[in-house]
Amino acid sequence: MTQVKENNTVKVHYTGKLADGQVFDTSEGKDPIAFTLGQGSLIPGFEKGLIDMKVNEKKTINITKEDAYGDPREDLIIEVPKSELPEDMAPEVGMGLVSRTPEGQEMNLLVIEVKPESVVLDGNHPLAGKDLIFDLEVVEIS
């Protein structure tokens, strides 16, 4: 296979950056990520950026927030009584928590405000609302 197509399994080295150049994730110094296109395991813009790339090809792609994690959603910001938190927890702004939905799915939450009787938690992805830049290198196509 000479070029990446939908449903190919690929191995890719990447570096993800914000518009200001801040790196938020990279495979540098690690194994490349491996995944099959079209299964929805990665953000749409990342997969679209790989289409038609060749093995050993490098390129930089710009992904708008719409093709990444979207805009932050107000419905994912919730206020929870402190009584619902573990007794030994002392919540602080910036603290990460993990909760389970009734269906058993894990949800990452960030404490964004601590009030006397409650905490305000944000369930949005940390990169929601941000445009992303990725440096890509295709290592393998199968």
- pLDDT for 25-52, tens place per residue? 999 999 999 999 999 889 999 999 999 9
Span between the terminal Cα atoms of the chain, in Å: 7
* 81 within some domain: yes
- Whether 3 is covered by a domain: the verdict is no
Rounded Cα gap, residues 29 and 36, in angstroms: 22
Q: Which residue has the higher pLDDT, 99 or 116?
A: 116
Residue 56's CATH number: 3.10.50.40
Based on the fold, state whether residues 50 and 24 are members of the same structural domain.
yes
50-84 per-position pLDDT tens digit: 999 999 999 999 999 999 999 999 999 999 999 99
Say how many domains are in the chain.
2
122: left (phi over 0), alpha (psi -120 to 50) or beta: beta
Model confidence pLDDT, tens digit, residues 79-107: 999 999 988 999 999 999 998 888 888 88
pLDDT grade for 1, boundaries at 50, 70 and 90: low
CA nearest neighbour of 142 among 11, 40, 14, 44:
11
Domain of 62 in residue numbering reads as 9-70+127-141
Q: 61 and 85 in one domain?
A: no
What pLDDT does residue 40 have?
87
pLDDT of residue 16: 98
Percentage of residues in the chain with pLDDT exceeding 70? 99
Q: What is the pLDDT of residue 17?
A: 98
Residue 86: the pLDDT is 87
User: Are residues 63 and 133 located together in one domain of the fold?
Assistant: yes
Name 2's Cβ contacts closer than 8 Å, sequence gap at least 6: 54, 55, 141
Beta bridge partners of 119: 80, 114
pTM over 0.75: yes
The average confidence (pLDDT) of the chain is 94
Q: What are phi and psi of 104, to 5 degrees?
A: 95, 0
